[in-house]
Amino acid sequence: MICSKCGQRAILSQRYSGLHLCQDHFVEDFERRAAETVRENDMVKDGERIAVAVSGGKDSTALLLALAKILEGRNVEMVAVTVDEGIAGYRDDTIKAARSICERLGVEQRIVSFQEEFGFKLDEIVAGKNEAPCTFCGVFRKSALNRAAKLLGATKVATGHNLDDEAQSVMMNYLKGDIERLLRFRPRREQPGLVPRVKPLRDIPEKETALYCMVKGAYTESRECPYAQLSLRADVRDMMNSIERLFPGTRQSTLRGFERIAAMAKGKWTGIDLLKCRKCGEPCVRDLCKACELLERLRL
């Protein structure tokens, strides 16, 4: 397989674009697309301090590497936030990897844990329960990240969500018929107490974030989270991977289709004004935030 741009040996065949890319042209293409997403969506302004969510997995590692490159020479500061959910036999390894990439890039790292923030490890929270661990994990992680970003004086939170994640989230909301959540998925207007989130890798497939880490010498083999298979997302991921194999470009069209719906809803659905949680003060939809609601249930 020969690179479509220079005739060197290709390391990637992008079925959705029809291009074959050698190592140098793949890196160039990856960073160009991430930079375009950042620029076109006005994700980062000069003078900002960005809290980058770095778990140590391939997506967040690729995010930190790409942002370090894209923002080079700009007046933008980065600080890494690593959330330790308390998942035995899984998170410890990725935390080591997160520490290593932060040290390599000279980025300050702050580790926050569910244990310190909420008084429980995820393993303790889900032991003996029938509910999907990801439900608890997602709520507590969002809350921990937002709190850490505020404490660190960050103006944005950047996460490593890739194209696969984004297309899966859109599809999951379609399947649940949750249109309100679906529309909340597009960039939100700013709300007090909520540090705006950006996803610079949202247009890049997961396979390419792993390859980018490999060619940048930052790939660490890590196990999948032991709870990942217990979620609806795992089924949606398998379904979308099968469709993508048959019809390359389906993930992109899923996301573009959602963006067209969001554009049509613009002005008609303005979202809700967030309130302040009566217990912890974090922004929320009702008077008690989801994290405090779950904590109350756990302490019953």
Positions that interact with ligand SF4 (CB under 6 A): 85, 133-134, 137-138, 225, 227-228, 231
Q: For ligand SF4, which is the closer residue by CB, 10 or 98?
A: 98
* Nearest-angstrom CA–CA distance, 201 and 54: 13
Q: What are phi and psi of 34, to 5 degrees?
A: -65, -40
Give least dist CB 122 to ligand SF4, A. Answer: 6
**In Å, what is the CA distance from 291 to each residue of 22, 138, 161, 190?**
46, 10, 21, 21
Quick one: which of 153, 137, 187 has its CA closest to 81?
153
Residue 135, classified by CB atoms within 10 Å of its CB into exposed (0-12), middle (13-18) or buried (19+), is: middle
Q: For ligand SF4, which is the closer residue by CB, 212 or 227?
A: 227
Q: For ligand SF4, which is the closer residue by CB, 215 or 228?
A: 228
Residue 192, classified by CB atoms within 10 Å of its CB into exposed (0-12), middle (13-18) or buried (19+), is: exposed
Longest Cα pair distance anywhere in the chain, in angstroms? 65
Give least dist CB 137 to ligand SF4, A. Answer: 3
Q: For ligand SF4, which is the closer residue by CB, 14 or 82?
A: 82
Q: For ligand SF4, which is the closer residue by CB, 239 or 264?
A: 239
Give least dist CB 281 to ligand SF4, A. Answer: 24
Give least dist CB 94 to ligand SF4, A. Answer: 9
Write the DSSP symbol of residue 155.
S
Give least dist CB 162 to ligand SF4, A. Answer: 14
